[in-house]
Chains A and B, each alone.
Chain A
Amino acid sequence: MPIEFNGKVYQTDSEGFLSNPDEWSVELAEKMAADDGCQLSPEHWEAINILRDYYAQFAIAPPIRILIRHMGKRLGKEKANSPYLYELFPFGPAKQACRYAGLPKPTGCI
């Protein structure tokens, strides 16, 4: 379903992932979260920024296992676990966090 925001229409796939990752902005991420009834905290942004950095480097969204590893490297051990991520993103880090981060959903046998 397309997102209407600041007078612009952003195309998405059936699960709400941005069709064009280049259209992403901080404000759009906040709008997507607000539509889910969620306000992005500094902790949310730590995870989102790690996702975006990973994508900038590797051109693919990381699997959760690897996201957790990079969280550990950058933010320390206490934030490097799946329960912490699920607390931040109750709909699942793979879907919810990647969607806010504007990353396309990987396609393959997954």
Chain B
Amino acid sequence: MGSVSTRKIKPRKSPSVKPNFCSDGGQSGGLVENWQELAIAKLGEEVRSNRALRVFLDSCVKCGACTDKCHYFLGDGDPLNMPVARQDLIRGVYRRYFTAAGKFFPKFVGALDLTESLLEDWSTYYYQCSECRRCSVYCPFGIDTAEITMVGRSILDAVGIRQNYIHTVLDNVNRVGNNLGMIGAAIADTLEGLEEDVLEETGVNVKFPLDDTDADVLLLVPSADLFAEPHVDGLIGCAKIFHQQGIRWTLSTEASEAANFALFIGDDEKMQQMTRHVRDTALKLGVKQVLVGECGHAWRVASSYWPDITGNGLTADFETLHICEFTYDLLRKNRLQLDRSVHNNKVITFHDSCNVARGSRMGEYPRDVYRIPRALLQAACDNFVDMAPDTICEHTFCCGGGGGLLTDELMEVRVSGASPRVSALEDVIANQGVTHMAAICAICKSQFRSVLPKFDLDMNMIVSLHQIVGDAVVLNSET
């Protein structure tokens, strides 16, 4: 089995690719006048209030363990995409203004003045990091580049350099309640269409309830699941499972978004606001369980931040589970009726989404977060194989489009960032006949659908995990 970590690194061919920014779309269009003072003050606030950040900035010994672990670096060979170099863009500024050595002997300690050209590097390289945390797995000190990137982006935001894609999405959430800006009537129309499609295809009247106050279960999906392929097939799979099990469930027009892009720019206040909104909706509907659908960072936010944000009330009022935990519980209790033969012509592999694999947990035991999705796929399909061990589970590669990078103008970065994952996929296609790769993240699915054809692979290879399970669900028209 080939190891992607040793793939040949190509030197960078083209100048750095930047995302579009708000205002005029220029790299520093909205830069405020006293930006330098503001940025340094904001960094000061961050290092004083975030102890972990200070430790991360202080403790790097330049051992080099992280250098070849980032998918963007492996893809394009740009030295500033080595995690340590990306961290140093802020570390140098921290040393210059917040350490004695940096104030008096800046050159000896790699301290950097915060110049406009350094800020340009921030706006490039903090948007060539998907906050996936793969480098932190290999760092002997556990330095988490994602935290540093989030701080970098929050400072950029504070001085007026606001990434267009992330802010368009956040504006949609603010205005309508979900990333896509899909109003309630559009959601209702879509769900009606899905009911008709499933009825036509299976002859069974599988329901897709919306705002049902009698429901026990609220399914919180990324809005992509109401819109895009293969996401919507995952939602259909969930509906089939609920139907088979006779579970009263509902989607919500109010809480129509699992994703929380505020995480990507380190905006805690907005992240809390969006979380409270979900909680309020769940309480209003009076559900017993909130199931978080197939969205990577939604689960990172839900499992890592929800309890803090919503306090103890969260666990008291309703239970929060990942949709995979929910389905796995049914499987473990032998309640799921599956017909594996529908997948006889498939060989499936699983792409661990970075936010789930390294930013959250599932189940009761360590490593359940890796075991549960695989157990579900193996229950639905006889032919399951894993990709190379240094590319899965805690070592998984990001899809290349995570962390707010899923925008067209960053396509070059997205393709090079996807190449380590695609190398591992090509390996199992060639040697083990893999036909499909399942994922549990809306961004992963959209990213692979866009980039797989650029590697001469079929975009339909990427599927939703609950699509694979759902297709195997034996439907009974009685339930």
Contacts and interface: CB of A to CB of B under 8 A. Distances in A.
Contacts of B179: 107-109
A107 B183 contact: no
Interface in B124-181: 165, 168-169, 172, 178-181
Interface stretch (A2-10, A40-48, A63-71): A63-71
Interface residues of B, number: 34
A59 B224 contact: no
A109 B185 contact: no
B183 A59 contact: yes
Interface string B191-230: 0010011000000000000000000000000111001110
Interface of B is mostly: helix
> Which has the most chain B C-beta neighbours within 10 Å: A64, A66, A69, A108?
A108
A107 B182 contact: no
Given A58-B183, A58-B185, A66 B259 contact: no
Interface in A36-61: 57-60
A69 B172 CA distance: 25
A63 B228 contact: yes
Contact of A60 (B183, B222, B295): B183
Interface of A: 14-15, 57-60, 63-66, 69, 106-110
Given A63-B232, A65-B197, A109-B259, 13 more contacts: A14-B408, A57-B185, A58-B182, A58-B183, A58-B189, A60-B181, A63-B190, A63-B229, A66-B189, A107-B169, A108-B178, A110-B228, A110-B231
- When A and B form their complex, which 7 residue pairs have the shortest distance between CB atoms, in order from nearest? A108-B179, A58-B186, A109-B442, A108-B180, A110-B228, A109-B224, A69-B193
B409 interface: yes
B446 interface: yes
A59 B181 contact: yes
B43 interface: no
B443 interface: yes
Contacts of A109: 179, 222-224, 228, 259, 295, 406, 442-443, 446
Contacts of B259: 109
Nearest to A58: B186
B182 A60 contact: yes
Interface in B402-452: 406-409, 442-443, 446
Contact of B408 (A15, A57, A106): A15
Contacts of A15: 408
Contacts of B185: 57-58
29 contacts: A14-B408, A15-B408, A58-B182, A59-B183, A59-B186, A63-B228, A63-B229, A64-B229, A65-B229, A66-B189, A69-B197, A107-B172, A107-B181, A108-B169, A108-B172, A108-B178, A108-B181, A108-B223, A109-B179, A109-B222, A109-B223, A109-B228, A109-B259, A109-B295, A109-B446, A110-B224, A110-B227, A110-B228, A110-B231
